[in-house]
A and B are shown apart, each in its own frame.
Chain A
Amino acid sequence: MSTKEQRERIELLQGTLDLLILRTLVRGPVHGHAIAKAIEFNSDDVLQVEQGSLYPALHRLIKRKWISVEEGTSENNRRAKFYKLTAEGRRQLTVETSKWDKMAGAIARILRPAEQEGE
């Protein structure tokens, strides 16, 4: 079913999207569409979020009180929902980032000897 294009993209790990959203919001309140664009832009288009899946993730974060939502006006002068990091979300971002670093480091250490053997 999957096309070639889809195969080249990297599927997001469970929970990674949450981390990316939190990271994106550090720079200030953003609306939904802008978050998707920011993630794609900052990852050089490697991480292509199916844009819709952003919204359940956002609502999950709202429910956990890591982000809040407020009314605002978008760049092209339309009313939109702006998502904003809460103090708790900021703390959570630190925790999640260090967790991610540890995991990435561990996976890298596991994979490196395998690469050497393979060569």
Chain B
Amino acid sequence: MTKRERMMKDLEQDIREHIETETQDNIARGMSQEDARYAALRKFGNVTRVKEETREVWTFVWLEQLLQDFRYALRVLRKKPGFALTAVLILALGIAANIIVFGVLQAMVLRPLDVPRADRLMTLARTDQTYPIFAYPEVREVRDQNTVFSAVAAFTMGDFGMEANGATRPVWGYEVGGQYFEVVGIKPFLGRLLNRSDDAHPGASDAAVLSWVAWKNDFGADPNVVGTKIRIDKQPYTVVGVTPEGFNGTEKIMEAEIFVPIANEQSLEGVNWLDSWNEKGRVWSIVRIKDGVTPPQVQADLNAIASRITRQYPKEEENLGFKLTRPGLVGDFIGGPVRGFLVGVMVLAGIVLLAACANLGSLFAARTADRAREIAIRIAIGSSRWRILRQVLVEAIVISIFGGACACVLAWIALTGLANWHLPTKFPMRFFVLPQPSLILMAFLISVLAGIAFGLMPLRQIFKADPNDVIKGGGSQSAAGRRWALRDVLLATQIALCCVTVTAAFVSLRGLSKSLTMDLGFNPKNVVRTEFDLNQASYTPDAADHLQRQMLEKVSALPGVEAAGYADITPLSMEQTTLAVFPQESSDFRHSQAAFHAYHYKVSPGYLAASGTALLAGRDVSFTDGPKTPLVAIVNQQFVRELFHSEHAVGRYFKNDQGVSVQVVGIMGDGKHFTLSEDQEPAAFFPISQDGSNNTTLVVRTHRDTGDVVTAIRDIIRDLDRGIPILESGTWSSQLGLSVFPSQVATVALGVFGAFGLLLSIAGTFGLASYTVSKRLRELSIRVALGAQAKQILETALGRMLVLLASGAVVGLVLGVAASRLLSAIVFQASARDPFVLAAVVFTMLLTGLVSVAGPVRRVLHVDPATLLREQ
């Protein structure tokens, strides 16, 4: 028995005792038994009220009432499971979208790198481009001359062949400067990290540091791993330490497994660029700002260093400038678009949730109107309006918390899936977006806010309700559907928003389907692509050249092979390099004087045919084009247009950035090189026999089953040298996945939003239409009884809805066309002016309208005046 129950029992006893005593007193004064008891009761007052007041002393009344409201809300929802289910589903989707987007935003943008004092960690970038990449000496100068950083480190990312425990495996790793771990500031999990002396000079140290993941996966979490001898690209290394769990390098989506000193760069990559000022595309850099140094001081120091370098190396450095950007997402190169995209999607998710709330709000308002009579009676017998409002609010919040709980489950599944998903690329890209518990709190907050937002919609109705009017008027608000109400505007807005998302989804879908069938300039169908890096097997350039030719001969001899060739880089592989091109008459070979920059490939004979690149004029490259013969190239049509301004280019010359003349021997078709959404860009193919490369990709066109060919090629490579790690091997089409990836993401995201928007619109329109119809059913019946035709009745009942639908859709279409321009950056040839897109949007909206008003229309047409008028 609770204290309250005990006290209430005492009270009852006390009251009985009191009245009994008073009665006895009255009898003593001479009253009759009956009169005495009656007088005693009268004198005591209202027993129930006394009990209630005493009960209030012992309870938190509001809490008890709240519980009552909750129980009532649950009962109401159980009674109308259809409504409850729809509402919960809509909210679950709306809230889940917000949580997922917020989870990704948090992981990618908001959460800093998991290192101590992450706010002092910055990426060094160039002022003239967003891709933060440098020549090694540039970073070295900043490291040695600055006064504002406690540490500066250059690093490169690359794939290595790691031999450990008797097996060779390609791993991704960083070559890092000696101050890298000072910049990062983490403590080793085992052993030690790399330090300045490891990076003092080439060969200073054979130390390698493993990431926690690599230690776990490749070394079986061996606690005695420190001191283990391994080989990286056939060079001997010793494991000296393991990084702590959760540290995967300083780029968020690239998972590094091993760290080695950058001083050993030449032995790993076969070329030496540590002293080259011209190789601007070699290293990235990350810095730690000293405590107490302000951003302006940093910038001033960086400017001073840049101008010193420019004075000292006027030929190599024309317009060098440094700046700092936030670390983790390749500076502003990916960071900018990613931040923009995520913020955009977040806003979209917010709008969708708002639309969902508006929708549920109008459904709620409609239900409140249905309950007008009940509310009026409750107000008439003395319930406070606040109490009624609270009840509606509690009902709304119960729904939204159910929705939020479902949303949490959905978001958890989606984010975990995303975190465990490997992008279709050889790069070790992962989204570290594992859901955080803080998201539950976020979901709860959103749910309550959403609940309040749509629960407050019937506010005006409740506070304006006049019990006299409602009860007298028999509950038929004949004004409904005549005046323009807030919910009409909300519905139109929502249809407009839905139309925007639908338009965007169609534009993006159309772009995606175009990009799947577009002319790439090459044909990846029935082509097997095998990438391997002979650097990782320590080949000299001559040995590599020999092996590559041998491999080409053997592969060409395979049955079913139509054509085969190899190249240092293939189009759309994300590794594109460019070459500055100068007119033949140039004498100034600074990069700023270049006519343009062209994509630059080194290819073997047969590559054109194997890749399906069209040779329009001239000849293919040949192995007779050697290091000693004059330089030649095959260029594409765009190259010809931009440099020669005519169609006849075979036999003409241009100069490279060394000032050496190159003769054009062939012309090929245009195509895509870096992204699918790019315009036509100039490109040039050079014979790989004139300037070799150790890192090549074998391209084989076959009419046999590609799977067999993949295996056959792997066998050939293994027979030639077991130590060659194969980086990628498979069909070219599947490997191109990454190129269509941005459009796929955009299409899926927009498609989901579009479908969700449609669902909302249908629910909203259906709700409002049936509400309007049911409110005016009596009036409509009278009209039918008086002889109105079906057409007139429909016009009266739902004319307003059609106007709303049409105007919302038109506004939405206009907005959608405007918004889809933003899409063209992500999706190939995205345009809403496409008649196909326009037609699809219009058709979809018409269908939406039909589906959502079909029910109410049927109800209107089947109005039977006799039944209805008898009922009321």
Contact = CB atoms under 8 A, between A and B. Distances in A.
B14 A55 contact: yes
Interface in A64-89: 69, 74, 76, 78-81
A81 B7 CA distance: 11
B50 A55 contact: yes
A63 B54 CA distance: 11
A118 B17 CA distance: 49
A71 to B, nearest CB: 10
Contact of B46 (A31, A52, A81): A52
A81 B17 CA distance: 9
B44 A51 contact: yes
Interface string B37-56: 00000011111011001101
A41 to B, nearest CB: 12
Contacts of A81: 10, 13-14, 17
A32 B50 contact: no
Contact of B43 (A51, A56, A69): A51
Contacts of B53: 53, 55-56
Interface string A26-41: 0000011100100000
B25 to A, nearest CB: 8
A68 B20 CA distance: 23
A115 B50 CA distance: 39
A59 B7 contact: yes
Contacts of A31: 14, 17
A60 interface: yes
Contacts of B22: 33, 51
A69 B9 CA distance: 13
A56 B44 contact: no
Contact of A33 (B10, B17, B50, B58): B17
A52 B50 contact: yes
A8 interface: no
A32 B17 contact: yes
A78 B24 CA distance: 12
Contacts of A44: none
B367 interface: no
Contacts of B18: 32-33, 36, 51
B15 interface: yes
A16 B471 CA distance: 43
A80 B17 contact: yes
A55 B17 contact: no
Contact of A59 (B13, B21, B45, B54): B54
A100 to B, nearest CB: 23
A31 B17 CA distance: 9
Contacts of B10: 69, 81
A50 interface: yes
B527 to A, nearest CB: 86
Most buried by A among B10, B20, B57, B58: B57
A63 B15 CA distance: 18
Contacts of B46: 52
Interface of A is mostly: helix
Contacts of A76: 21, 24
Contacts of A50: 43-45
B11 interface: yes
Contacts of B58: 59, 63
Contacts of A78: 17, 20-21
B57 A33 contact: no
Interface residues of A, number: 21
B57 A60 contact: yes
B43 A74 contact: no
Contact of B50 (A36, A56, A60): A56
Contacts of A33: 17-18, 21-22
Contacts of B45: 50-53
Nearest to B50: A52
A36 B22 CA distance: 10
B14 A52 contact: no
Contacts of A55: 11, 14-15, 50, 53-54
B13 A52 contact: no
A74 B21 contact: yes
A32 B58 CA distance: 19
A55 B21 CA distance: 15
Contacts of B20: 78
Interface in B386-439: none
Contacts of A69: 10
B528 to A, nearest CB: 85
B11 A52 contact: no
A80 B19 CA distance: 12
Nearest to B43: A51
B14 A32 contact: yes
B17 A56 contact: no
B274 to A, nearest CB: 82
A32 B11 CA distance: 10
Contacts of A56: 50, 53-54, 56-57
Interface in B840-863: none
A59 B52 CA distance: 12
B24 A52 contact: no
Of A33, A53, A74, A81, the most chain B CB neighbours within 10 A belong to A33
A30 B58 CA distance: 22
A53 B17 contact: no
Contacts of A60: 57
A79 B18 CA distance: 11
B284 to A, nearest CB: 70
B317 to A, nearest CB: 83
A67 B11 CA distance: 15
Contacts of B44: 50-52
Give the one of A53, A56, A69 with max B CB within 10 A.
A56
A49 B86 CA distance: 57
B17 A63 contact: no
A63 B22 CA distance: 26
Interface in B50-94: 50, 53-54, 56-58
Contacts of B11: 55, 59
A74 B45 CA distance: 23
Nearest to A37: B25
Interface in B1-39: 7, 10-11, 13-15, 17-18, 20-22, 24
Nearest to B13: A81
A69 B10 CA distance: 10
Contacts of B24: 76
A81 B15 CA distance: 10
A76 to B, nearest CB: 7
Nearest to B17: A80
A59 B57 CA distance: 7
B277 to A, nearest CB: 85
A76 B20 CA distance: 11
Nearest to A63: B57
Nearest to B53: A56
B182 to A, nearest CB: 65
12 contacts: A31-B14, A33-B18, A36-B18, A51-B45, A52-B15, A52-B49, A55-B14, A56-B54, A56-B56, A76-B21, A81-B14, A81-B17
Given A50-B45, A56-B57, 15 more contacts: A33-B21, A50-B44, A51-B43, A52-B46, A52-B47, A53-B45, A53-B53, A55-B11, A55-B14, A55-B53, A55-B54, A59-B11, A74-B17, A78-B20, A81-B17
Interface of B: 7, 10-11, 13-15, 17-18, 20-22, 24, 43-47, 49-50, 53-54, 56-58
- Complex A-B, nearest 8 residue pairs according to Cβ-Cβ distance, in ascending order: A52-B45, A56-B53, A52-B50, A33-B21, A50-B45, A59-B57, A33-B18, A52-B44
